[in-house]
Amino acid sequence: MSARIFSPARNAMQSGKAKTGFWVLEFEPAQPLKIDPLMGYTSSGDTRRQVRLTFDTKEEAIAYAEKNGIDFTLQEPKVSKRRQISYAENFRYDRKTPWTH
């Protein structure tokens, strides 16, 4: 029984940082998905796939996994670097490339 601990990134529809910063413990799949021949649905007999535990901090998630004897892999979040620019930069007189529409 292995799991992974990660902090999910914001989705593509978010511009802010709301609902981010928490940590998730998800179990790795033990069985592959099967396709139902009649309806075409995908299913699995692995019920641990449905378990998704959330924690406020990374340390809480690690402590939970160690307390319950769960092997885990830790994935650190990638920090995005935002470049600070201003609207006035578009109209500088010493631009290297001309700015036109």
Tell the burial category of 23 from Cβ atoms under 10 Å away from its Cβ (0-12, 13-18, 19+).
buried
pLDDT beyond 70 at 101: no
Region 63-85: mean pLDDT is 89
Neighbouring residues of 29: CB distance < 8 A, sequence distance ≥ 6 = 44, 46, 49
Domain ranges of the chain: 2-8+20-76
pLDDT of residue 1: 77
- Rounded to a whole number of angstroms, the distance between the first and last alpha carbons of the chain is 57
pTM above 0.85, yes or no: no
- Six-digit token pair at 88? 């006035």
Q: How far apart (Å, rounded) are the C-alpha atoms in residues 55 and 62?
A: 10
CATH assignment of 2-8+20-76?
3.30.160.190
Q: Write down the pLDDT at residue 62.
A: 96
Residue 10, CA atoms < 13 Å, CB-side half-sphere: 12
Q: Residue 100: which pLDDT band, with cuts at 50, 70 and 90? A: low
pLDDT in tens, 29-70: 888 899 999 999 998 888 888 899 999 999 999 999 999 999
